[in-house]
Amino acid sequence: MSTLKNNNLIVLTLFNYLISSSFLFVANANQREVEDQTSFSYVVGAYNGPENWGNLNFPNWTLCGTGTNQSPINILDNTVVVWPSLWDLNTNYKPALAVIKNRGHDIEVEWRGDAGGVIINGTEYKLEKCHWHIPSEHTINGVRFDMELHAVHMSSEGDIAVVGILYELGPPDSFLARILPYLQAATREGTNIGILEPPEVAFGGREYYRYNGSLTTPPCSENITWTVFKTVRTVSLQQITALSDAVDDGNTGNARPIQELHGRPVYLFEPGIVL
């Protein structure tokens, strides 16, 4: 093999390594979202509103104000990098014991048993919980959707990966339909709802966006691997109303404002595309 070919091979191998390793971020377990959300609000301009989260619990929440890899973001299709080697999101979910919580600004389902999870770049992330934001936090080409589900996963090393699913008004969502009967029983500590099958995150489409971001609630921890599915699902108005009425959102919703990208790349996986 010629020297030129050897050099090209080395460059290509290094480039692939950098791309792959950029999706394996470290986020320690002590950087999880706060469970008691009463100390902050989503009211823009309020003393405890989104722009002031970083000042509410110094220094623990500092990244909410100073971080440069924050979420959510506006995803622009004309700037994303198509990257086929991301491959399909490998899921292995299974039914497990779960509880439902009312954390103040959102409703959360937390699995207390082994609910399976996802595999990203060879690392397994176990499904821990999911919750809903109304309206959506991420936007696509400037469009904000009616709702967004976040499925939070954690690896054995404490790395966090979040899967986001966007919704628009339409037929009811089947997973949410199983949750609504328990809304009024939800407590801060968690109410047992028995064996629950996790949502099928890849249902309806395989295309997804991938980027390095943060938790969207305090402490706004960074180095979170985000996967946001491109396909938009449907949720009924009745389901959205039920979720909103169950939490203390002050009729403002619970979506954090869009954060600056600061030059971060956003990747897109589309099956069948070969570079």
The verdict on whether 105 is a catalytic residue reads yes
CB neighbour list of residue 195: distance below 8 Å, 6 or more residues apart: 95, 96, 97, 98
SS3 at position 84:
helix
CA angle 239, 243, 248 (to 5 degrees): 160
Helix (H) or strand (E) holding 227: strand 222-229
Q: Which of 105, 131, 133, 150 is catalytic?
A: 105
Closest by alpha carbon to 267, among 75, 125, 119, 91? 75
What stretches of 81-226 show up as alpha helix (H) in DSSP? 174-179
Residue 247 and residue 253: Cα distance in Å, rounded?
9
What distances in angstroms separate CA 131 from CA 15, 87, 134, 153, 242, one per listed residue? Answer: 36, 26, 10, 12, 14
Beta bridge partners of 149: 132, 165
SS3 at position 26:
coil
SS3 at position 148:
strand
Strands 222-229 and 160-169: parallel
Instruction: Kindly report the backbone phi and psi dihedral angles of residue 206, in degrees, each rounded to the nearest multiple of 5, phi listed first.
Output: -105, -15
Closest by alpha carbon to 107, among 50, 191, 173, 49? 191
Catalytic residue set: 105
